[in-house]
Amino acid sequence: GGLVTSFRVRDNFSWEAAASQENPNLLKICQICYQCICDLHINHYDNVAVLTIPEQNDPGSGLIPEPELFGLFQNEPNPVINSTRISFNLPEISQVDLAVYNLKGQLVKKLYSGNTSKHTIMWDGKDEQGNELENGVYFYTIIINEKIENTRKLIIMK
């Protein structure tokens, strides 16, 4: 994977693009002139960001909204010692199932099931019966509208 960027501008003005200093995986764009319509799409590995600058944008304010990232994000902290936070953000409300699996593909813990577009789960590293999981590698998978969309790896070290 790598960084793939594209943005579509429908105006006759000059634009500058630069990497975000806060997050080097993001690209910021700045319009030098006034009144634009812009769509910015950034793809970085499994995350997709979309930024829309509305018409009559005033670049004189110096404020450009940060893009909103979509996807299933890496758990934090990883490796898991006591607990970890798993977050996802979708472009629209969808049926979402999020679960943890062992290396054999067996369900260890169902973390979330419901309709949402954004959610953060704190997980204590325990299975469905409340037992502490053994140290090792596990996977968490997000299923959106009954289709597997993404899987990430986490490590438990207690």
Token output for 101: 């699996």
50-101 pLDDT, tens per residue? 555 555 545 555 565 565 667 899 999 999 999 999 999 988 899 999 999 9
d(CA 109, CA 140): 9
Tokens representing residue 127 in the block: 């299975």
CATH 2.60.40.4070 maps onto the chain at 73-156
pLDDT tens-digit readout, 6-63: 445 444 444 445 444 555 544 444 444 344 444 444 444 444 455 555 555 455 555 6
Give the CA distances from residue 70 to residues 15, 102, 104, 156, in Å, rounded to whole numbers and listed in that order: 25, 25, 28, 25
pTM of the model as a whole = 0.59
CATH for 73-156 is: 2.60.40.4070
